[in-house]
Structure 1
Amino acid sequence: MAAEELNRTAKVTGQGIYDISQSLQKIRAEQIERKPKLKTHQVLELYKTDHLLWTWRIYNMILGFEHLKSSEVGNHHECRLGRWVDSQDAAQCRLLPAFKQLEAPHKQVHELAREAAVAYEQGNITKAEQILERMSQASAEVVQILNELQQQC
């Protein structure tokens, strides 16, 4: 009985945290739209947050809070970071070694997100959790590279 109550409380708390994070994400999106032109350091900070939030979305999918289909997971060229990497705006960073190291882990984040969503759709939560762990490591690598680019660009 106590375990059931604890489980119920944990789910309600988790849902509350998820709901608050969704509200904060809406505020974040509105603020990004209001800012006309960001400097390189600022956009790189934005991209770091984007990828941390993407990992958070997959985590919430596994918990059952986020409803995400594998078909909704884009590739590494479609996200905000990917569009920047492919654009002229990234020209000043393109020749840096860190920039060249970015593609592999960035691509991996998106591929693993899709794999986790597929595993979740198939009801294989354990596999989705294992994929999320690998995705988190790739995401951390993306963030580390973006930190280097912030210092160099």
Structure 2
Amino acid sequence: MLAGLALEFKLDAFVYSSTIPPGPDLDDAFDASHRSKREIELYCKSLGERGLNWTIVRPGFFMENFDGFMGSLAVAILSQGLRKETDIALVASDDIGKVAAGVFQNHGRFTHKTVSITGGCLSMNEIKSAYKDVLGKQMPSVPAVFAWLILKLSSGAQHV
């Protein structure tokens, strides 16, 4: 694993990009992807006890996930699958790169730290409203019935 090699070769900084957990703490990871990321975070932290200078960055939901056809599908599924009051931590992918570069340039300041990267937290209604305010049109979305069907049939989508 890369973290083990970083320790072996005594790298000055090791940055692992994870994800903001779906709940208040790491134990709220209920799908394989989030559980795997949680395990890697814990592994990096354990290597820190042996000298690894780790930093974990946790980006939010990429705003670019709303682009194109897949984005219109994401809009519909999130609109149908989330409670109205559920906020989504949003981030632009360019911002992740800038934060990661800053971590590398100032690695001493960020050693053994976890940094969540988000441009803000909004509900789907707030996201759609902001989209309309800025672009003057509705946010693209597939029909709600299609999203409802996916939510009923897809075990992965059911954990939204």
TM-score by length of 1: 0.29
| Greater per-residue helix proportion | 1
| Greater per-residue strand proportion | 2
Larger Rg: 2
